[in-house]
Amino acid sequence: MRNRSTVRFLTWVTTFAFLLTAGGAVAAELPVFTELVADNGPAVVNISTTQKGKKPALPPGMEMPDLPGMPEGPWSDLFRHFFDEERGYPEREFEARSLGSGFIIDSGGHIITNNHVVEGADEIIVRLNDRRELVAEVVGSDPRSDIALLKVDAKDLPVVELGSADELKVGEWVMAIGSPFGFDHSVSVGVVSAMGRSLPSESYVPFIQTDVAINPGNSGGPLFNVDGKVVGVNSQIYSRTGGFMGLSFAIPIEVAMNVVEQIKEHGQVTRGWLGVLIQDVTRDLAESFDMERPVGALVAKVLEDSPAEKAGFQPGDVVLEFDGERLERSSDLPPLVGSIRVGDRITAKVLRDGRERELNVTIGELPAEGALKPTASEGRVQTDKLGLSVVEPTPEQRERLSLAEGKGVLVESVQAGAARDAGIRRGDVIVRIGGDEVTDPGQFRQLVKEVPAGKSVPVLVQRNGGALFLALRVPEE
């Protein structure tokens, strides 16, 4: 009995000692950021901006209230001053303030921050780690990447060391320094949770996604790796409350420095342009294109007089490779195109009609934002097989939809069935089924009859000025 107790006691001691040793080993592997903060903190700055302006005292459409003693009386001048713009009284002045962060990249006083931190500012004040406050000017900015380059008049400033986001790996530790809610030089740490993340409003930035705590005021601050080198510019958070919820996004430092160099050299930023509207390849679409798995970027529309049109791109092409880079998803294409120099000639590999083809394209310059704008009848056909009714568009509808004569049919109604399941809506214009262009309702009916039952076929529709492929599965009779 005594021997068994002794064995149990020794086993418990051994296990406890092992756990202590293992816990110590794990703790020893965790990074310590104290030296990184001490070395790099002085090069991180707080940025505050002031924007002055005027605004109406009342919302548009509202009038000055009809009060006793109006229009004459002791209170008339006071109310007119605040409410009556039509009689020449001034609007109310306001002063908006915002906070952000930034970091110094050279001893001459150049500072990187986010464009949205300084956009529209009348005055920009940079506060250094030693409490000095300097007035900054905007050297240049790029709204598409959300990067701005500032300059302060000072010498011998501390600077950060730049690293490479290309070398980051998911799960790697990273650290942010910034001014969340105005609390200067606050430090937060976490790990890289994804790379090359695409956001709906930002097509040209392959974001670094982290779980580092980023809050209002952190924007424009640096993201460091464990070697103390800047790998990104903290830019956005995903939040339903306005505060940190576990998802933060940083602009890769390579993207930021490309913008900085272009601003320094040319005073503006240019990007490569292909001229296609693209979408993801879903599982159903992959099946309809006879692809083994959903990869690449599906071309839904080729813009007129674009580099893509000149190179021979067609709607329905699936871009599998661009300039030697394989595309897993459609979001991989825009930042890749944008990073190529204007005028460079590259090769793209596309899947068309079940065969891979190579297209040579000369990259154009991305037009300014806003320069590119998307652009009861006879001949009705009801297809009970799909639950769909289509009509020949009228001349007025064709003009409104920018639809050429002899192309496309207008969806008049969609009932329960295959068309609705595919995502086709009333008001869509069906311009293509499989590899065939749709010319009129009669030809549309014939194309539907020729599609094998139970098979998915790609259908190209125009919707709200854009183009979209949908996978339509024709049901069995």
Residues designated catalytic? 116, 146, 219
CB atoms within 10 A of CB 166: 10
- Candidates 42, 260, 34; CA nearest to 147 is 260
Of 251, 59, 234, 241, nearest to 144 by C-alpha is 251
Structure tokens at 304: 């007129």
| Amino acid (1-letter code) at residue 302 | V
CB atoms inside a 10 Å sphere around CB 291: 17
Helix (H, G, I), strand (E, B) or coil at 72: coil
Gap between the terminal Cα atoms of the chain: 80
d(CA 152, CA 125): 9
Report the alpha-carbon distance of residue 94 to residue 51 in Å, rounded: 8
d(CA 65, CA 357): 70
Positive or negative: CA dihedral 49, 55, 60, 64: positive
Q: Report the C-alpha gap between 383 and 78 in whole angstroms.
A: 69
Closest by CA to 465, choosing from 441, 429, 433, is: 429
Kind plus residue range of the DSSP H or E element containing 47: strand 44-55
Task: Note whether 173 and 189 are within 8 A (CB).
Answer: yes
CA 341 to chain CA centroid, Å, is 21
Give me 305's structure tokens.
């007089």
Evaluate whether 317 touches 348 at the Cβ level (below 8 Å): no
Q: What is the helix (H) or strand (E) element at residue 458, kind and residue range? A: strand 456-463
Residue 390 near residue 410 (C-beta atoms within 8 A): yes
In the block, residue with structure tokens 């500032």: 150
Under 8 Å between Cβ of 440 and 392: yes
**Which residue shows structure tokens 């005021």?**
217
